[in-house]
Copies of this chain bind each other. A is one copy, B any other.
């Protein structure tokens, strides 16, 4: 009973991204990130923490000797790598990479136990503790990532081996968990299995997987607490000291049944993955109550708990949300994975109901936090994405010890780099979606797609100058003619969009034309038809909601989807001393030499100086600080920290 009313992304094989901005990122993933991660997963990168993830599988498969090493969820790094590889293969054949993936799959398959169980931590290190510590130990999370990888690889290659592994694993889980008497009435501390099972259901058509996903969602947050009960059953054994995963129910969103949750609480990545799974099940089952819970959580996140960069998670402790309108810029967590999860959630909501607000957030997180997570050369990564950095304080003030002022080569807990890779490798999933005779264009990313519409094979070429200019052009090729509806998103950052079909302007004031932020162009299309979309970009000086303490009295510069920041490399140290002029006209210039080409903003400002202040006084009676006029330089936020150690700030005073 697949729900036909939801919009579907196009297969990656049908989306050929050819974009001045994004093709380079995808090339980096293919040529740098995936090979680098392969080396990292095999412990061949010097100077970084060892991963041991492949070795763990080899040991579990009986192919090597040794002991498990790494985080309890180390397996998931291999799965995310394999998922990213699958997307690359679906996009473009690569026999060598496919052979490597097949070898990894062989190892994984051999590591699977006869009953379908597959988790190297428990197989090797605590075989008696399987399914005994759902709160802390990520068993179903790892399973979920393996299932996601399996579905992706199957779609890319048609090969069944890893899909069979995934099905046996899912069947094993289904035999253990569920409402039936004798089964465990539990759910994983870290959501992921839920959305993965829906993917497996899509790939196999087996309803059991969809039901199991719904079971996990609905079991969460019920009383009495499963985590407390299993804690007692395992004689109060704790895996992660310091955190309180057993009793702090909101950490794992187990404080309320998911349908009753109205605010995003606890670990931000978990919230985003949970919401993605909820949206999946709501869509498949046409479950309006669950959908309404998704909408509540979405609204809470995007209207009260999200940074302007599309980042989420206000505090390091628990990598978690805190409370409404609490968005500190410096002590922030803003994990790269959390914004990736937010994109997953946004995409699912968008496919349920085509409202541009979902795509706006998707774009906001993608162009800012997600690619901020990776260096411009694809070799280093951020886990935490602050909006304000003073490197000396990060070194000395323990409140900031999670904030790095430079990207790292790899992490002991390496969730973010492979997550970036799998998102970028599957970027084609986010550009368009199709529902019956409507083709939605959500993101403006140069690409060529082939798609069947109205019984015709339609080819659509998109040329986009985003994110630097708002000119987008579509050209249609179709055999004969086809009647379909092309729905183009008008981004929230543009207030003066123009759309021309074959040179004729469409009146966007027409309520029928602009629905929920999408211009619908429903007509008979022929080869040679063109659509021009002009999205004028101005430098928007953004203000935060008046209840946001950290942004009041300040502005952030945004142009198109790109949030800008000031860096010490351009503006010297002590960025807090800079006040931009309200009346100064921003200069916008593309600097081809800067980090592979970036648009740079210059704006009249003044800097409050320490000169003339006697250094033996920390405080003194008010007098005007000496100021000097300067030109403040802003670069895109995503490109910060590519020029050595230095300060950075997004929100800046204005007068």
A residues with a Cβ closer than 8 A to B are: 299, 302-304, 306, 308, 314-318, 320, 322-323, 326, 328, 331, 390, 392-393, 395-399, 495, 540-549, 552-553, 555-556, 574, 576-577, 579, 608-610, 613, 615-623, 625, 653, 655
Contacts and interface: CB of A to CB of B under 8 A. Distances in A.
Nearest to A308: B619
B556 A304 contact: no
A640 to B, nearest CB: 18
A637 to B, nearest CB: 14
A540 B617 contact: no
A544 B574 contact: no
Oligomer copy total: 2
A326 B615 CA distance: 15
Contacts of A397: 314-315, 322-323, 326, 328
A322 to B, nearest CB: 4
Nearest to A390: B549
Nearest to A250: B396
Nearest 9 A-B pairs (CB), nearest first? A317-B398, A541-B622, A322-B397, A323-B396, A546-B610, A549-B576, A540-B621, A542-B619, A322-B396
B620 A303 contact: no
Contacts of A553: 553, 579, 653
A106 to B, nearest CB: 44
Contact of A542 (B299, B542, B622, B655): B622
A552 B608 CA distance: 9
A544 B574 CA distance: 14
6 contacts: A315-B399, A316-B399, A544-B618, A545-B615, A546-B608, A553-B579
Given A318-B398, A397-B323, A398-B318, A543 B618 contact: no
Given A399-B399, A540-B621, A622-B540, A574 B556 contact: no
A95 to B, nearest CB: 47
A326 B397 CA distance: 8
Contacts of A390: 326, 549
Given A303-B615, A331-B399, 14 more contacts: A303-B618, A306-B618, A308-B619, A316-B399, A322-B396, A328-B397, A328-B399, A399-B399, A540-B621, A543-B622, A545-B618, A546-B574, A553-B553, A553-B579
A318 B397 CA distance: 10
Contacts of A395: 323
A195 to B, nearest CB: 26
B621 A541 contact: yes
A619 B556 contact: yes
Given A393-B323, A543-B625, A548 B618 contact: yes
A653 B322 CA distance: 25
Contact of A545 (B303, B548, B619, B621): B619
A37 B318 CA distance: 37
Nearest to A615: B303
A530 to B, nearest CB: 30
A514 to B, nearest CB: 18
B393 A619 contact: no
A613 B396 contact: no
- Greatest chain B CB density within 10 A among A315, A396, A541 is at A396
A618 B609 CA distance: 33
A302 B556 CA distance: 34
A410 B147 CA distance: 54
A540 to B, nearest CB: 5
Nearest to A265: B396
A395 B548 CA distance: 17
Contacts of A609: 546
A620 B574 contact: no
A396 B608 CA distance: 35
Nearest to A395: B323
A549 B573 CA distance: 12
A622 B555 contact: yes
Nearest to A627: B546
A398 B317 CA distance: 6
A41 B540 CA distance: 61
A139 B574 CA distance: 44
Nearest to A574: B547
Contacts of A547: 574, 610
A609 B622 CA distance: 27
Given A303-B616, A552-B608, A616-B299, A623 B318 contact: no
Contact of A398 (B304, B315, B617, B621): B315
A111 B251 CA distance: 47
A390 to B, nearest CB: 7
Contacts of A392: 323, 326
A625 B553 CA distance: 10
A207 to B, nearest CB: 37
A314 B618 CA distance: 15
A417 to B, nearest CB: 26
A621 B331 CA distance: 25
Contacts of A299: 616
Contacts of A577: 546, 552
A399 B317 contact: yes
B625 A546 contact: yes
Contacts of A555: 622
Contacts of A579: 553
A564 to B, nearest CB: 13
A393 B610 CA distance: 33
A316 B397 CA distance: 9
A314 B396 CA distance: 10
Nearest to A616: B303
Contacts of A542: 619-622
A399 B320 CA distance: 11
A513 to B, nearest CB: 23
A299 to B, nearest CB: 7
